[in-house]
């Protein structure tokens, strides 16, 4: 069940065309500390990363990848994956247009409640100083 969370974070990390060290650090921190991810084996993690990266490299549309990631998630799980993705997009203290576009796709396709959007983005604004 934790694979979609990894995929959402990896897609966030590659959304600007380059995975920054800060993004990797945050992802690995969540692997060790987030209950939903700490039971994930290294092999499962590597497969989820490779699968997501391969889809992006093959030119698959972000919307299709997001649809695949979310197909087995309930609303609460989509909210968690969304929050993790937003965090990764802010991890390097930058939030560029391509990252904004990816987050917007998540919000629209997964119908993230506007209250959740405000909470997550408000928290990032407070911690990272960017909107």
Q: Give me the chain's average pLDDT, please.
A: 93
Structure tokens at 104: 């917007």
- pTM to 2 decimals? 0.94
Distance CA 131, CA 67 (A): 25
- pLDDT, one tens digit for every residue, the chain (131 residues): 579 999 999 999 999 888 889 999 999 999 989 888 888 888 999 999 999 989 999 999 999 999 999 998 999 999 999 999 999 999 999 999 999 999 999 999 999 999 999 999 999 999 999 87
Each residue's pLDDT tens digit, 53-90: 899 999 999 999 999 999 989 999 999 999 999 999 99
3-128 topology per CATH: TerB-like (1.10.3680)
C-alpha distance across the termini of the chain, in Å = 30
Which residue from 107, 72, 67, 69 is spatially nearest to 86, judged by alpha carbons? 107
């Amino acid at each position: 069940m934790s694979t979609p969370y990894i995929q959402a974070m990896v897609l966030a990390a590659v959304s600007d065309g380059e995975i920054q060290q800060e993004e990797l650090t945050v992802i690995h921190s969540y692997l060790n500390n987030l209950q939903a991810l700490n039971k994930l084996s290294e092999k499962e993690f590597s497969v989820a990363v490779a699968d997501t990266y391969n889809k992006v490299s093959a030119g698959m549309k972000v919307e299709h990848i997001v649809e695949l990631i979310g197909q087995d998630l309930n609303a609460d799980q989509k909210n968690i994956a969304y929050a993790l993705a937003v965090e990764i997009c802010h991890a390097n203290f930058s939030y560029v247009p391509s990252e904004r576009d990816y987050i917007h796709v998540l919000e629209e396709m997964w119908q993230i409640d506007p209250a959740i959007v405000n909470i997550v983005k408000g928290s990032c604004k407070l911690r990272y100083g960017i909107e």
